[in-house]
């Protein structure tokens, strides 16, 4: 069962907007066994849209489109649908009532003709509700292909996809099972891994495919299995990954979860009834931002401090000036003292700290650009690690955030699962 995604809008083609909708849609389709074979971004010109629809109809039984549903002149998706499906726009009173309600509640101005026009929809379309916006989604069929159009505003589209489209797709299409699982490794390059696991890779069965995903010091190994029975596929993939431990166990840090790592950390802290605070120098607050992006984070994330300038590490976190002088501000000792200072100042159980030099110039320390220390302290934990993430500022910051969250997750997991199998 294959599908294509078409996103409509010049903002993507001129690079003003990154198309994050497609990744979200692709992931959701994959989760119900629908394989995305192409993603396409096209301009909002009628001819381009009609050509794309016709071409896609020849290839796949399902086409998901986003964009071009707004009230303004540059939004032409529904007019293109009318042309393509030989249909006409008709007034939909339910949609109009919904638009009026939204305006009364949030916008607090009366609706105008352009808003009213959004209640004019192709007569053959089955509609998908949009509780967060004024543009309804559409489901239409031509030949053997289903075309779905959703709004381009990400949170409107996501809600529509999850609440309405996915259940409808499950009902409408027979789908095989697809299982993806991704192993995380840290420390080796992809070529070294590939060399060490080459026999294992060569012996993979035809229905299971391996991909190497290198990024920022990590290489992720993804197995994708296709077949009829999800349980059997999952067992096959698990068994294959199990066989990697004797080969590259030292670099395996875990598996990619559907949950972001900051949510996994949150669950573990909640389970232990523990709290965490952050003291971030080179990461500038991004770790705190990640932790607090999770709903309910205030039950375990107490707060954080970004003592970006050296003197503040002493003033706010009580890191002794003598310690900074003796070891330099970018050092294991200062990282630990920052983490301990955070615990004290924020009255938290755990303290997570970063200090480093992301460049481009050397700062208040002699440490090489790219040098970063990450420390986690807490009940039974006093851990610090040293890294050099190279001379690319943004890379160094993001690697530091990733690594700090990884270290935290790993140490918290160890505490919970004391009898983890040792590979």
Binders of a second copy among residues 24 to 63 (CB under 8 A) are 24-30, 35-44, 48
Residues 271-290 that bind a second copy (CB under 8 A): 278, 280, 283-289
- Of 34 and 375, nearer to a second copy (C-beta) is 34
Residues 403-422 that bind a second copy (CB under 8 A): none
- The answer to whether 375 touches 383, Cβ cutoff 8 Å, is yes
Q: How far apart are CA 267 and CA 273, in angstroms?
A: 10
**Does residue 234 belong to the site contacting a second copy (CB under 8 A)?**
no
Q: In the complex, what is the shortest distance from the CB of residue 349 to a second copy, in angstroms, rounded to a whole number?
A: 13
- Residues 167-186, mask of contacts with a second copy (x by CB under 8 A): -------------x-x----
> For 129-197, where are the alpha helices, taking DSSP H only?
154-160, 166-172, 190-196
Q: 264, 255, 259: which is closest to 183 by C-alpha? A: 255
The piece of 7-15, 77-85, 162-170, 373-381 that touches a second copy (CB under 8 A) is 7-15
Q: In the complex, what is the shortest distance from the CB of residue 213 to a second copy, in angstroms, rounded to a whole number?
A: 6
**Does residue 222 belong to the site contacting a second copy (CB under 8 A)?**
yes
- Of 359 and 378, nearer to a second copy (C-beta) is 359
Binder among 54, 90, 104, 112 for a second copy (CB under 8 A)? 112
- The answer to whether 338 touches 313, Cβ cutoff 8 Å, is yes
Binder among 109, 203, 420, 422 for a second copy (CB under 8 A)? 109
Cβ atoms within 10 Å of 421's Cβ, excluding its own? 6
Q: Any residues with CB less than 8 A from the CB of 381 and at least 6 apart, and which?
A: 350, 411, 415
Q: Any residues with CB less than 8 A from the CB of 72 and at least 6 apart, and which?
A: 114
Binder among 394, 414, 416, 423 for a second copy (CB under 8 A)? 394
- Of 18 and 416, nearer to a second copy (C-beta) is 18
* Helix axes of 46-59 and 77-84: crossing angle, nearest 10 degrees: 60
Q: How far apart are CA 278 and CA 264, in angstroms?
A: 17
**Does residue 270 belong to the site contacting a second copy (CB under 8 A)?**
no
**Does residue 312 belong to the site contacting a second copy (CB under 8 A)?**
yes
Cβ atoms within 10 Å of 100's Cβ, excluding its own? 16
């Amino acid at each position: 069962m294959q599908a294509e995604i078409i996103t409509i809008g010049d903002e993507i083609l001129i690079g003003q907007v990154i198309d994050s909708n497609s990744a979200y849609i692709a992931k959701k389709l994959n989760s119900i066994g629908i394989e995305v074979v192409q993603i396409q971004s096209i301009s909002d010109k009628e001819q381009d849209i009609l050509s794309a629809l016709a071409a896609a109809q020849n290839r796949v039984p399902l086409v998901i489109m986003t964009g071009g549903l707004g009230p303004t002149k540059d939004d032409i998706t529904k007019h293109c649908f009318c042309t393509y499906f030989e249909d006409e726009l008709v007034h939909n009173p339910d949609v109009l009532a919904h638009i009026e309600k939204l305006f009364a509640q949030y916008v607090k101005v009366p609706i105008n003709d352009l808003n009213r026009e959004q209640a004019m929809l192709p007569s053959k379309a089955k509609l998908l509700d949009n509780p967060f916006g004024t543009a309804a989604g559409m489901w239409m069929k031509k030949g053997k292909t289903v075309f779905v159009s959703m709004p381009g505003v990400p949170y409107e589209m996501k809600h529509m996809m999850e609440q309405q489209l996915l259940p409808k797709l499950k009902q409408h299409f027979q789908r095989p099972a697809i299982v993806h699982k991704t192993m995380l490794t840290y420390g080796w390059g992809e070529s070294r891994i590939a060399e060490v696991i080459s026999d294992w890779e060569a012996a993979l069965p035809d229905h299971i495919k391996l991909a190497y995903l290198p990024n920022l010091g990590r290489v992720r190994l993804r197995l994708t299995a296709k077949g009829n029975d999800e349980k059997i596929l999952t067992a096959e993939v698990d068994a294959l990954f199990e066989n990697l431990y004797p080969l590259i166990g030292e670099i395996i840090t875990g598996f990619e979860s559907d949950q972001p790592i900051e949510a996994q950390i949150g669950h573990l802290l909640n389970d232990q009834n523990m709290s965490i605070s952050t003291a971030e120098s080179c990461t500038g607050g991004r770790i705190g931002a990640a932790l607090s992006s999770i709903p309910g984070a205030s039950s375990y994330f107490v707060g954080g401090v970004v003592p970006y300038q050296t003197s503040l590490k002493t003033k706010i976190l009580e890191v002794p000036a003598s310690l900074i002088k003796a070891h330099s501000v970018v050092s294991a000792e200062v990282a630990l003292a920052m983490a301990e200072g955070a615990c004290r100042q924020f009255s938290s159980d755990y303290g997570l700290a970063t200090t480093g030099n992301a460049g481009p110039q050397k700062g208040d320390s002699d440490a090489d650009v790219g040098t970063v220390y990450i420390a986690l302290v807490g009940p039974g934990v006093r851990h610090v690690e040293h890294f050099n993430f190279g001379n690319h500022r943004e890379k160094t910051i993001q690697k530091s955030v990733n690594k700090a969250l990884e270290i935290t997750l790993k140490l918290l997991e160890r505490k919970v699962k004391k009898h983890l199998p040792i590979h």
